[in-house]
Amino acid sequence: MHGFRGVIQLVIALTMMACLPALSQNTGVVQSDILLLDPDRLFTETQLGQRINRDYLAKREKLIAQNDKIAAELEAEELSLTEKRAGLSPEEFRELADAFDVKVQEIRRDSERAVRELERSRDRAPVTFMRIVEPVLVQLMRESGGAVILDVRSVLLRADVVDITSVAIRRVDAEIGNGLPVQQDDAPQEIEPEN
């Protein structure tokens, strides 16, 4: 009786193993029609994704420093204008004050435009990243015999053996590294105060 139960357990174990995706002997890639990928991990853990994030943060810090410098310059100019007020006629002061107001409005518009551009570049970063790494993912899909790669965030139930994220991270690092040079058109525009 115990021998029969052992045979049944062995058959069940073999059946369950047959249902699991197989590991390719030559590539180390899971063999499955359906593969899962965590795009957030792929972005944050690859050299390329980290470089894109560092570039964004550096541009952001530069823009903040630039805006702080401009704000200090405008504050000094406003103080100087206030000090000159006593020696000017009301008309002369009004003319200088209006010119200063126009200048401040232009700088504010330029600053807001630069911030919007920077945020747009941040929003485009994951799409740009996926375009760059797509050939690596396509190759992994071919090696695995996969028909589709699904975003792990949209899958309700899954078996960890079909998640190729760790393999994809290693492959992207090996084949792409930190990627291409920074695109100049993605850099925030310099905002210079007018004198």
- Give 119-176 pLDDT, tens digit per residue: 999 999 999 999 999 999 999 999 988 889 999 988 888 766 688 999 999 999 999 9
Q: Looking at the domain assignment, is residue 96 inside a domain?
A: yes
CB atoms within 10 A of CB 46: 25
Considering the domain boundaries, does residue 2 fall inside one?
A: no
Burial 94-121 (b: 16+ CB within 10 A, else e): eeeeeeeeeeeeebeebbeebbebbeeb
Residue 49: domain span: 30-186
Residue 17 domain-assigned? no
CA distance 114 to 99: 23
**Token pair for residue 187?**
């850099």
**pTM (two decimals):** 0.69
Give the total number of structural domains in the chain: 1
Region 43-49: mean pLDDT is: 96
Query: Which of 134, 146, 128 is CA-nearest to residue 171?
Result: 134
Q: What is the dihedral of CA 175, 181, 185, 186, to 10 degrees?
A: 70
53 within domain boundaries = yes
